Structure formats: structure tokens, C-alpha cells
Amino acid sequence: MAVRPLHDRVIVKRIEEEAKSKGGIIIPDTAKEKPQEGRVVAVGPGRVEDGKVIAVAVKKGDRILFGKYSGTEIKLDGEEHIIMREEDILGVIEA
């Protein structure tokens, strides 16, 4: 299923963290926090201001940081994604 976000919204897939700590301790799912890192899957055209479309600053494939409780969780093809506004994105992780 293909979903195209509207306006300045983006669809993000969370990047799962490792199940082990640096010391080698395995962390159970119940003790893990939701990752605040994700990869952009789709981007809307941008927001409209004064009749002009201002493009979104991120692009498909970017690795981003976002707030812990940002966006709305959705399921696409059985996988969990988050749809959020551009303003909920805290930064882009450069390689």
C-alpha cells in the first residue's frame, strides 16, 4: 500500500536499537524505551504560506531524530510507522 503524506507531514519508520547494552546485558522488550531515531519513508509536498509552497527540509531516506511522543503511529502493510509534522523533527543525522 502506498501512502502520500499531505502538506508538511512525513512518514517515518523507527530504527530499532540493539537488544544488548554495551556491557553485554540483554534488555527485555518491556524495559526498552521507544527509539527516537528513524528513517524517512515518504515526504509531503510542503506547507503553503502566502500562496507559495515551502518544501520540507528532509527527503526520503534521511535518518532523523524526533521527540519521544511525536507524531501518530500507523500500520502500513503490517509494519509500524509514524506520521508527523516537519516541526516535530529535531534533526537529521549526517553520515
Does any domain span residue 54?
Answer: yes
Does any domain span residue 78?
Answer: yes
The domain tally of the chain equals: 1
* CATH number of the structural domain spanning residue 62: 2.30.33.40
pTM to 2 decimals?
0.78
Domain that holds residue 71: 9-15+34-92
Q: At CA 89, angle to CA 95 and CA 93, rounded to 5?
A: 10
Nearest residue to 93 (alpha-carbon basis) of 73, 66, 72, 71: 66
Compute the distance between CA of residue 42 and CA of residue 59 in angstroms, rounded to an integer: 8
Residue type, 21: S
pLDDT digits (tens, 9 = 90+) for 52-88: 988 888 999 999 999 888 889 999 888 899 999 999 9
Does any domain span residue 58?
Answer: yes
Does any domain span residue 23?
Answer: no
